[in-house]
Amino acid sequence: MKVEQISIFIENKSGRLAEITAILGKAGINIRALSLADTSDFGILRLIVDDSEKALKVLKEQRFTVSITNVIGVAVPDTPGGLTSILQILDNNSVNVEYMYAFVERSGDNAVIIFRFDNIDEAIAALTKNGIKILPSEHITSI
């Protein structure tokens, strides 16, 4: 159920993002989802890729500060209020969302929300207890 996410600390300057995507592309690594948060000096690029171990290796070889964290992917109905129902379950179970990002699957039926929690196991338990579909890593990386 848990998905490995690559987090990369990058300088906030022209060309750094292109450099990272070029390194991954040259290594044959496909980016499936991403989020970029920045400040005036640096950014954190979060990626779901089809081969996280290989991505970690090639980025470290190029002297990037990179780590792997666990997140989960949740199938959310792509309708008004779909996300609210998920967030209400989490709130009712006192589960804190650290951050999230989303994308729509090709089928258009569901959005996929990537969540990072302060306690991922409690989040999984609360969501599954309430019938929410947690997507396996293989599903996320193959979209």
Domains belonging to the chain, first-starting first, are 2-70 (3.30.2130.10), 71-142 (3.30.2130.10)
pLDDT tens digits for range 7-28 = 999 988 889 999 999 999 999 9
3-state SS, residue 51: coil
- Other beta carbons within 10 angstroms of residue 10's beta carbon come to 18
pTM: 0.89
* pLDDT tens profile 43-80: 999 999 999 999 999 999 999 999 999 999 999 888 89
